[in-house]
Each structure stands twice: as structure tokens, then as C-alpha cells.
Structure 1
Amino acid sequence: MTIQDIHNRFIEELQNLYDSTEIQAIFRYYIEIRLNIIDSYLFNDDKLDFEIKGFDSDLNQLKEGKPIQQIVGRAFFYDYFFRVNEYTLIPRPETEELIYLISEQYNKELELNVIDLGTGSGCIPITIKKIFPRANVSAIDISNEALAVAKQNSEELNAPVNFIQQDLLLEFDLNQKFDIIVSNPPYIRELEKADMHKNVLNYEPHLALFVTNEDPLLFYRRVAEFGLSHLNTGGKIFCEINQYLGKETKEMFQQFYKNVILHQDISGNDRIIEVYN
């Protein structure tokens, strides 16, 4: 099977599910991960012949709506590939903007104490550790399965992180204070499910995605409360937020903190909240 054969099969099998731009992106991602081909000039080389174990199964899963990242077991985030599975969210480009904002505000040589609340695949704390090699980085998650993936990512990317199994919604004290508290908690309301693609609804963990319509800021209140007892003097909280609840999220944090800044993402949507006293 040549690269062109694979390309033709992708177009033939997926054209009723995705537009041509999406098919090209999926194809390139698949080739890069499955065959480790990065150089674009090789994509059109019919002399290259491959045997891909499980190719038909991979294609069938794509037709069923399974995300390409879960099929190949890797998702690209910031400058790194992270392992992902059904227990972890697939990292989004919007979350990269959260990392960029933090990286711009601190000297890379500082010995910062950082914690990520609700870590999933570990992409946030691991990337922060790569950017700030002298930082002491911790992360919590309720899911032991997600933490297993995060620990594997930490080891493979040589970015030591202290992972802790903990339910954020329960009261707990880590007997430690932090310069940065970061979180990308569940924030999608149940009412927003109707607008979501089935590859998210059917394949990504609802535990990490959804909150009730009645109390959509539940996790943000807990982050705010956690910060009251765990944030160092001069420390900051950074959270990714629901773009439709920017005003409400800002007002909630203002009940606890003096300074609350709402940042827009590259598309102009309310996306990040920055908080400090």
C-alpha cells in the first residue's frame, strides 16, 4: 500500500463524513503518527510501500466518528505529542493559549510552585514543567485511569510532575502553597450537547466535559476556594472557561479576589480568566 493508496482510501471512505480540509488533516496526522513521515515531499512518493497493521480497523473507527487522536493514541499539544485514550480529553488549541499566557508572565528560570486542578492527560502541567524546568509542578485528578496516562506522558517527556488522585469537589488541604494555580475543569453545560460533534459526545469522557445547566460554575467556585488557602502572596490563578459564560465566571471570581482579568482567544471568544489579589 503506497501513500497515494492510503490517501485515496481516506477520501473514498470519509467524504460523506468530513469536508476535504478535514480529510486532509486527518490523513496527514495518521501518516505522521502511524508511519512517522513528517516530510511532506514523501507524501506523493509512490515508491514508498507500507503494510499498516490494522489499517481497515482504523478506517472503520474513523467512519464511526472516533477521533483520529484516540485511534493513533497520540495528540499534539504545544510542542509535544501526548498519549491519550478514552479516559482523557484530547488537548485543544485553545488550551495552548492558556499555556502561552502563563509563559509570557514569568521568567523561565524561576523556581515556581505550580498545581493543575483536573489534569487529564497531564498536558498542562507537563508542558509547564518543560517551559519552567526549575518549577515544582503538581497535578490532581479524580480519575485513576487518567492519572495513569498522565504519569506515562510525564515519564516519556522527561517532565517530572507530582500526580495526586483527588476529587476537586471535596474539601482537602495539601499543606502547600502555590505561585500558580491552573485549571481547565469541566465547563460545558448539558444544554450545549446538541451543538457538539458525535466524536466528542461518543468518545471523550463526560466526567471531564460536562456540568449541569443549573450550576455550570461549580468547579470554578472550588478553584476559587482552593486558591484562598493554597495561593502564595502574589500568586495567580489561570483557568480556561466556557466562552458563553465569561461575564458570569468573572463575576463569580470577583466575589473572592480583587483582580479578575478576562482574556479572549485567537477567535475573539472569552476563553481564559486570570485572577489575583
Structure 2
Amino acid sequence: MKIKQYRTQFIQELSGIYDVLEVESFFYLILEVKRNLKQIDLALNPDLSFSEQEIADWSILVSELKKEIPIQYLLGKTNFYGLDFEVNSNVLIPRPETEELVEWIIKENLNVGKSNGLKILDIGTGSGCIAISLAKNLPHAQVYAIDVSENALATAKRNAISNGVSVTFLLQNILETEDLMQEFDVIVSNPPYVRNLEKEEIKKNVLDYEPHLALFVEDNDALIFYRKIAELAQTNLRKNGSLYFEINQYLGKETVKLLENLGFKNIELRKDIYDNDRMIFCVK
């Protein structure tokens, strides 16, 4: 079957579940991973075809997509800040909003500590996307990363190797940590922040397949991770060190208040590309 014909069939089968533009993006994403072909290649070579085995392989992917399993998990990879990352059910799929947080940190620290070093800690690293992107773009920095999940850390370690960076990974439950045992210039975290009451807003592909450990917090203490990390930062950030968070869009003011009460200064709340309160920066 010609690939162009199969594309029409693929879109028809999935368009009742997903937006047509999203289905089209799925098609070209799979095509690039499976056949190393881009959209332009298909346009220039309209007679390209699939073998029977390829159609069988694609049919399996279609049946999985019908269950709303995230395409990144089906392909086992995704792109974040220009780098390829392995992803699986042990780690969250990196989001575009988090790329904005990484961009902010890189811009603010590009020339910081080049002579005497820069120490960065990423808390709740998951796939390692934040830590590895920072290590890649701030090569003068020493980067450390913590996670409570052994399986997540195993994934992050593979991602560090595949992206050619050195990151020190530590298995640690941050809520049970009393001291980080060393000082850092930058601490960053994208911790669990979705309240159970917000589950109805979460899409099925996230709710059913991404790790709840990395997503949800109890309604009655939604800022538990922010409070704990900020308290540790009071001890383990160097003077004038920076603390960065990705946050719950509905709790921007509350998170700012928490940081104010703990004595942080120069607090800045930023919106993401979707105009939601999403990132906070402050200084010890």
C-alpha cells in the first residue's frame, strides 16, 4: 500500500478520538521514527509504499492509540529542549512549559560561575529532562539530580549517557530529607502539584498512563513539596543562590506567599505559553 493511502486510513481511524491535526502529527512522528521519513520526503516521493509487515506494525500502534496510550510511550522517546529522551511509564512525559523553565535557568546562569564552578540540583528529576538539558547547555556546571523512584533514575541515567552529559543521580525521598549535605548555587524542581480535585481536568492519556507518584498531591496540603524544598534551600542554597519551581497554575499567589514567609527575596512569578501562572524564581 502506498504510504499516502495509508495516511488517509490512519487519520480516519483515529480522528474520532483525537483532533485531526493531532492525528496527522502522530502519523508523521511515527513515520520519522519508523522509516526516517519526514513530511517533505513523502510529498517529494508520493509513490513510497509500506510492506505488509510495516502495515501490521502500524496497526498495532493504531490499536494502542485508540486506548489513548501516549504516543511518546509507544515510541519510547520524545524531544525536549532539542534533545532526545527515552520515556516510559516510570516517568512523566516532558512538557513544553518545562522547556520554558529550563530556558529561564540557562539564560540567567549562562555566565555565572564559569571561573569557580556552578552547582545545580534538580529535585524530582524523572526522565532527567531538566538536569540533562541544563548540563548540556551549561557545560561549566556540576549538575545533581534526585528522585524517589529507582526506575525513574535508571531511565534518567540512560538519558544522560545518550545525550553525552555527566549528572550525579541520587535515590532520595525529598520529603524525608533533613539536609542535602552540600550547598548549591541553583535548586530547581518540578514536583508533584496536581490536586486530586483537579483530576477531572486531566486527559485520559495522562490520568490512565502517566505515573501518579509524579503528578498528584493531596488537596489539603497541595504545597507540601514546595514548602519542604524551600525549607531545605534555606540551608543548602548559597547566599544569593537561586530557587526555581514549576508550579500549579491555580496556586501562584499561594506559592509566592509561601516563599515570602520563608524569607526569600526577588520573587518573580511567570506565565507559560498558555498564559497560565507556571514558574517561580526567588533568591535566598
Under a length normalisation based on structure 2, what TM-score does the superposition of the two structures give? 0.93
Identical aligned residues as a percent: 44
- Structure 2 residue aligned with 1:259, among 261, 266, 277? 266
SS in 2 for 1:54: helix
- Classify the secondary structure of the residue corresponding to 1:259: strand
TM-score, L = length of structure 1: 0.95
Of 246, 266, 280, the match for 1:273:
280
Structure 1 segments, 4+ long, off by >6 Å, are none
What residue in structure 1 maps to residue 164 of structure 2?
A: 158
Please state how far the C-alpha of 1:108 moved relative to its aligned partner. 4.7
2:18 corresponds in structure 1 to 18
What CA distance in whole angstroms lies between the structure 2 residues aligned with 1:18 and 1:107?
40
Which of 124, 127, 145 is the equivalent residue of 2:133?
Answer: 127
SS in 2 for 1:75: strand
2-side partners of 1:103 and 1:2: how far apart?
45
Which whole-Å CA distance do the structure 2 matches of 1:3 and 1:167 have between them?
Answer: 48
* CA RMSD, 1 decimal: 1.4
Query: What does 1:45-124 align with in structure 2 at a 5 Å threshold?
Result: 45-51=45-51, 52=54, 54-108=57-111, 110=114, 111-124=117-130
1:45-79 per-residue CA deviation (whole Å, 9 max, x = no partner) reads 23323443632211111000001100000111110
Q: Is the 1:108–1:133 Cα contact (8 Å) retained in structure 2? A: no
Distance 1:2 1:70 in 2: 27
- Equivalent-residue separation in structure 2 for 1:268 and 1:82 (angstroms): 26
Structure 2 counterpart of 1:264, one-letter code: K
Structure 2: runs of 5 or more not aligned: none
Deviation at 1:31, TM superposition (A): 1.5
Q: CA deviation at 1:43?
A: 2.3
* In structure 1, C-alpha distance between the alignment counterparts of 2:199 and 2:240, rounded to whole Å: 38
Give how far 1:201 is off: 0.4
In the alignment, structure 1 segments of 5+ residues that lack a partner are none
Quick one: which of 232, 237, 240 aligns to 2:246?
Answer: 240
* Count of residue correspondences: 276
3-state SS of the aligned residue for 1:247? helix
Q: 1:251 to 1:64 in 2, by over 3 A?
A: same
- 1:184 paired residue among 186, 190, 205: 190
Q: Which amino acid aligns with 1:118?
A: G
**Partner of 1:21: helix, strand, or coil?**
helix
CA contact (8 A) 1:118 1:141 kept: yes
Retained in 1: the 8 A contact 2:147–2:172? Answer: yes
Q: Kindly tell me: are residues 54 and 180 of structure 1, through their superposed partners in 2, closer, same or farther at Cα, counting changes over 3 Å?
A: same
